[in-house]
A = this chain, B = another copy of it.
């Protein structure tokens, strides 16, 4: 993937897997300042469904985006996310994978000769094949110089 012209509707990607560790949660709490006991307090977490500390939603979203960022595309930037949903808790030791599909390609309304929008629907799946999170990733992508009519 490089310029907007190269994106194809229906094309899919699948990341490698990554195990969510206690260290990831500790680092994410540290980065964000979110020390909610749901994430940080093993005693409190016994009272939650699942009975264990859960990863932060923003950690799962951030990791999922990063897992698909191995293919570095210098022509694309994150414009936003739509309908981010945390569907099942992710616990320490779960292994997650991201898979995605390009479901929309749109001209930029104001600068169609410079940019396009690509909409990538992403699902995060755990080691049991359960979808734990889903979201739409909106990219602002440069058009190939000289490519627009």
Contact = CB atoms under 8 A, between A and B. Distances in A.
Interface of A: 16-19, 21-24, 26-38, 40-44, 53, 56-59, 61-63, 65-67, 69-74, 77-86, 93, 95, 127, 135
Main secondary structure of the interface of A (DSSP, over half): mixed
Contact of A35 (B62, B70, B95): B70
A27 B23 contact: yes
A43 B66 contact: no
A125 to B, nearest CB: 11
Contacts of A43: 17, 19, 95, 127
A61 B58 contact: yes
Stoichiometry, as copies per complex, reads 6
Nearest to A95: B43
A42 B26 contact: no
Nearest to A77: B38
List 3 tightest A-B contacts by C-beta distance, closest first: A30-B30, A32-B66, A23-B23
From A31, A42, A127, name the one whose CB has the most chain B CB atoms within 10 angstroms.
A31
A51 to B, nearest CB: 14
A79 B85 contact: yes
A84 to B, nearest CB: 4
A58 B53 contact: no
